[in-house]
Amino acid sequence: MTDMTKDSTPSRRRERFPGISTRAWEHPADRSALVALRKLSGFDDVLKKLAGLVSERSVRLMFLATAVRTSERQFPELHAMVRDAAYILDLEKVPDLYVTQDPTVNAMCIGMDAPIIVVTSGLVDLLDEEELRAVIGHEVGHAMSGHAVYRTMLLILTNIATRIAWIPLGTLAITAVITALKEWFRKAELSCDRAGLLAGQDLQASMRGLMKLAGGHNLAEMNVDAFLEQAEEYDKAGDLRDGVLKLLQVLPQTHPFAVVRVAKLKKWADSDDYRSILAGAYPRRTDDPNASVGEQWKAAADSYSKSMKETKDPLMGLIRDVAGGAATVGGKLRDTFTGPRNTNGE
């Protein structure tokens, strides 16, 4: 990682956020877990020992040998973007950024001690300048939040699950934790979509980039507003059977689906929280040690509760009815699987 210098000032006017805490952009479910982990003295050290520092060094050496590290002489525009994102989000040490030859569209942040960012040539070819700026800001957000901890935990637990597959209850317990970690991953991705928006401060570019992940490079054939309408249609999702199918489809994923990410980012960009950050009213990292774990867990619970109330998903609606003791639950189940009864009760 290289030192931050004044010549990293962005080429067009953006707000900069001196001393900003990652709590400013983290999704409540992501933030609550991170605050709790940060309170555990030595937790990162334990994970590093479990994961093995050799593996992190091995990954770094592999990219150094097989990919192109950006600099003033190699991919200078991308190099300027990662420095720009670090400048905007006030990250003192700029992560090294590598471009690897791979037609797959992907970007990742790797490492716990000194994170590096890797983008594929497929991603670079797909996105325009401002879309790339949002993606690189997203990955800088991962580096700042310390999300490599999740990835390390998931890899460790997946390895354990493979080794104890012959123990039924042991596998069940590990699988449950892995499922929870994947939910954590999905919320971390929403967090870093917000970090990418703060880095680029161009909502249309952020949404276009996510839309291109779903539909490819032919932007003239796509429309962000229409894609947001898709997101609303996906949320409504027909009947209970569609709700169940959506749940089964999302559980194995480490990333939310593209339409969900666009809709969630648009909603956050329209919120008072985003406007306050742009105005300079945001949590500072100097206050991170005083962040209350209890308050963060309450915020996470409130976030899930609010999502449950606002969603139009029929399965979530049923769960609301169950939680509220609604008398219509039986009728909804009957109508879903046998069809509505006629007015004569037949």
Annotated active-site positions, please? Answer: 139
Residue matched to tokens 């894609």:
227
171 and 165 in contact (C-beta within 8 Å)? Answer: yes
DSSP 3-state assignment of 265? helix
Give the torsion through C-alpha atoms of 306, 273, 206, 148, to 10 deg.
-80
| Partners of residue 93 on adjacent β-strands | 3
Residues 6+ apart with CB under 8 A from 169: none
DSSP 3-state assignment of 107? strand
Q: What does the alpha-carbon distance between residue 263 and residue 176 come to, in Å, rounded to a whole number?
A: 28
Q: What does the alpha-carbon distance between residue 15 and residue 24 come to, in Å, rounded to a whole number?
A: 15
Q: What does the alpha-carbon distance between residue 245 and residue 247 come to, in Å, rounded to a whole number?
A: 5
Quote the tokens at residue 107: 């970007």
CA angle 54-57-61, nearest 5°?
Answer: 135
Quote the tokens at residue 334: 């009957």
113 and 151 in contact (C-beta within 8 Å)? Answer: no
Helices (H) and strands (E) in the chain, counts: 16, 6
Residue type for position 346:
E
Q: What does the alpha-carbon distance between residue 118 and residue 99 come to, in Å, rounded to a whole number?
A: 6
DSSP state letter for 17: -
4 and 86 in contact (C-beta within 8 Å)? Answer: yes
